[in-house]
């Protein structure tokens, strides 16, 4: 096959307007032809594929750049865009990407937000993000974890400095080390493709001599050396105490035992699953336990187990596994129950589940307790028997997942559908901008942006955050310059889902608390115009839709046909003067998807 550079991506805007120009520069400087293919990020790889399956077993990166050469697909760079305020839990959650890169000897690039929050916030905020690359360097002798600092706005430390047109991207030249790494990885990967494909060297070994002489990287290494490492992290964790008589800290470490709290099983147990994987892999402890709270009071273990099973099912754990576990526990009621035999017997039930596979692989048991932390039961298992472990966690991961094995390129096919990310991209760049709307913010599924709306500001750290796909002012040259539009995008039309979206958006017109939260967000983003009215729009990929839906609360609809054409329908004379362009071509690039889908074991 011809030499290919593949870019697996989540956010189309970041791909086309940040990653792609640098990939093209790298190819041009290598003077070697390579075809570039764009591939939607797979949620999981169910077919064993050596290093790629290994990487996706630990993380699902925002960007993965690979080289296809001589029937092999070789990871060059794992990339993440992090827009969150820096907290310990966020940093530990993302550490899985760095571990995967260290094991596969590719480069890890994290573009990391420097913004602060003036609101009460969950998580330890005084955590040094360089602690993670420092510990990975100490543990793996790996210098390929690159942290690129995404700067904040010159006059507002709560929002990021963004490209003026492509809001999910940093401005050009804002993060020099990130741009240089992206370009050099592609350039050196192509120039050394034969040696890399034949396992004579790795992209890390090829690029490291260059990095050592790159002044920005040398400065980064000097700062990294002064950051806290494994010794300081262990000391910090050992010093932590719970807030209150019956409460324990999220992470508890003593001389022999590490306990990580799992707050929920839903949402892939993030960020706790990432914290568990990082801590279990890199922090020395004789016993690693997880802890889970059932949010009711129980006086007896049997009642606690019943509550645990019910709550776990509500949070998405597989029904057949949980009912089997309940039968096992009911037969062995005690304060500590060994479930090694059960876990081995039901392995096919849980090894494809991200949450359960992480818990079984990275811990030795789980402490389950009621909300008073008085009624408790400890489930225990022997990892060595379940996984036939003969070595430590780092070696086990390397051997279990084949991080250094380059397999055949993943099978891909061109997509013919459209997803929510692409719909929002089209609305932004093919409809609103050409119609001269003043964009406040865009929130893509993989790049949420700065416009978090906090309607429950009195709830402190428990408040919910709302993101609207697109917020924009009407054109200033229209008679409605102080009018705002709120727009939501979906990949396809679903009447029930669309009604929910519209009802949620309409709250900003009818609920004073919601409106005030929106105005506060606009002010925080330096958009302090007087808000006179709100118009609501929805957009979706359209086929032959038959519906009786009467969108009386919607002001305009945008339909996208066959990845080819868009068309807008609006209601009312006001919008006739606003939408000067009402249809056009979408001009999306050719995008592929992974079609490998063989059900084979997958952990984590």
Q: Is 77 helix (H, G, I), strand (E, B) or coil?
A: strand
The answer to whether 134 and 232 are in contact (CB under 8 A) is no
Q: What is the pLDDT of residues 135-178, one digit of tens each?
A: 999 999 999 999 999 999 998 898 999 999 999 999 999 999 99
Distances (CA, A) of 578 to 535, 553, 565: 12, 18, 20
Q: What is the pLDDT of residues 14-40, one digit of tens each?
A: 999 999 999 999 999 999 999 999 999
Taking residues 232-237, report their average pLDDT: 92
Write down the pLDDT at residue 600: 43
The answer to whether 217 and 177 are in contact (CB under 8 A) is yes
Q: 428 exposed, middle or buried (CB, 10 Å; 0-12, 13-18, 19+)? A: buried
Write down the pLDDT at residue 598: 41
Q: Percent helix, strand, coil in the chain (nearest 5)?
A: 40, 20, 40
- Please write down the HEC assignment for all residues of 513-524: HHHHHHHHHHHH
* Cα four-point dihedral sign 152, 153, 155, 158: negative
Place of tokens 């506060």: 520
* Cα four-point dihedral sign 322, 327, 329, 333: positive
Please tell me the distance from the alpha carbon of residue 278 to that of residue 397, in angstroms, as a whole number: 12
In the DSSP assignment, the letter for residue 531 is: P
Q: 381 exposed, middle or buried (CB, 10 Å; 0-12, 13-18, 19+)? A: buried
Taking residues 75-81, report their average pLDDT: 97
Q: What is the pLDDT of residues 432-452, one digit of tens each?
A: 999 999 999 999 999 999 999
Please tell me the distance from the alpha carbon of residue 2 to that of residue 432, in angstroms, as a whole number: 39
Q: For the full predicted model, state whether its pTM sits above 0.75.
A: yes
């Amino acid at each position: 096959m011809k030499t290919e550079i593949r870019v697996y991506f989540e956010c189309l805007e970041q791909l086309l307007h940040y990653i792609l120009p640098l990939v093209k520069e790298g190819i041009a400087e290598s003077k070697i032809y390579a075809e570039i293919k764009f591939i939607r990020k797979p949620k999981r790889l169910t077919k064993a594929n050596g290093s790629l399956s290994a990487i996706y077993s630990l993380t699902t990166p925002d960007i993965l750049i690979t080289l296809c050469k001589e029937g092999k697909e070789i990871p060059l760079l794992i990339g993440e865009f992090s827009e969150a305020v820096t907290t310990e839990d966020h940093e530990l959650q993302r550490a899985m990407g760095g571990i995967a890169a260290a094991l596969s000897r590719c480069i890890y690039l994290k573009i990391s937000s420097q913004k602060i929050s003036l609101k009460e916030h969950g998580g330890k905020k005084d955590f040094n993000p360089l602690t993670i690359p420092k510990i990975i360097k100490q543990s793996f002798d790996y210098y390929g974890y690159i942290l690129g600092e995404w700067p904040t706005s010159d006059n507002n430390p709560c929002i990021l400095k963004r490209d003026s047109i492509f809001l999910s991207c940093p401005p050009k030249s804002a993060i020099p080390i990130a741009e240089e790494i992206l370009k050099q990885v592609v350039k050196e990967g192509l120039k050394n493709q034969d040696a890399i494909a034949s396992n004579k060297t790795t992209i890390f070994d090829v690029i490291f001599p260059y990095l050592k002489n790159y002044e920005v990287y040398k400065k980064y290494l000097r700062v990294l050396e002064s950051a806290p490492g494994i010794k300081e992290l262990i000391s910090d964790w050992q010093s932590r105490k719970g807030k209150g008589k019956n409460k324990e800290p999220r992470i508890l470490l003593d001389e022999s035992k590490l306990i990580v709290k799992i707050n929920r099983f839903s949402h892939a147990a993030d960020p706790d699953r990432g914290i568990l994987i990082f801590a279990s892999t890199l922090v020395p402890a004789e016993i690693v336990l997880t802890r889970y709270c059932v949010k009711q009071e129980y006086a007896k273990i049997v009642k606690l187990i019943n509550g645990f099973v019910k709550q776990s099912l509500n949070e998405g754990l597989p029904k057949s596994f949980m009912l089997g576990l309940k039968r096992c526990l009911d037969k062995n009621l005690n304060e500590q129950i060994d479930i090694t035999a059960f876990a081995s017997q039901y392995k096919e039930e849980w090894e494809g589940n991200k949450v359960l596979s992480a818990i079984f692989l990275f811990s030795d048991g789980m402490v389950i307790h009621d909300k008073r932390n008085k009624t408790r039961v400890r489930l225990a298992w022997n990892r060595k028997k379940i996984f036939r472990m003969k070595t430590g966690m780092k070696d086990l991961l390397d051997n279990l997942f084949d991080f250094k094995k380059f397999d055949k390129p993943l099978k891909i096919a061109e997509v013919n559908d459209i997803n929510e990310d692409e719909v929002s991209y089209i609305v932004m760049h093919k409809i609103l901008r050409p119609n001269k709307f003043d964009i406040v913010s865009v929130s893509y599924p993989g790049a949420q942006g700065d416009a978090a709306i906090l309607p429950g500001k009195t709830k402190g750290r428990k408040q919910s955050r709302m993101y609207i796909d697109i917020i924009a002012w009407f054109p200033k040259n229209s008679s409605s310059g102080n009018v705002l539009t709120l727009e939501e995008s979906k990949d396809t039309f679903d009447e029930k889902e669309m009604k929910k979206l519209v009802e949620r958006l309409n709250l900003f017109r009818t609920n004073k608390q919601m409106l005030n939260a929106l105005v506060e967000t606009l002010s925080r983003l330096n958009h302090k115009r007087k808000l006179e009215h709100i118009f609501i729009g929805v957009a979706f990929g359209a086929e032959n839709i038959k519906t009786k839906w009467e969108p009386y609360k919607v002001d305009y609809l945008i339909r996208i046909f066959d990845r080819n054409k868009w068309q807008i329908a609006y209601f009312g004379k006001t919008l006739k003067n606003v939408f000067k362009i009402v249809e056009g071509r979408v001009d999306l690039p050719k995008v592929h998807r992974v079609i490998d889908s063989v059900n084979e074991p997958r952990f984590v």
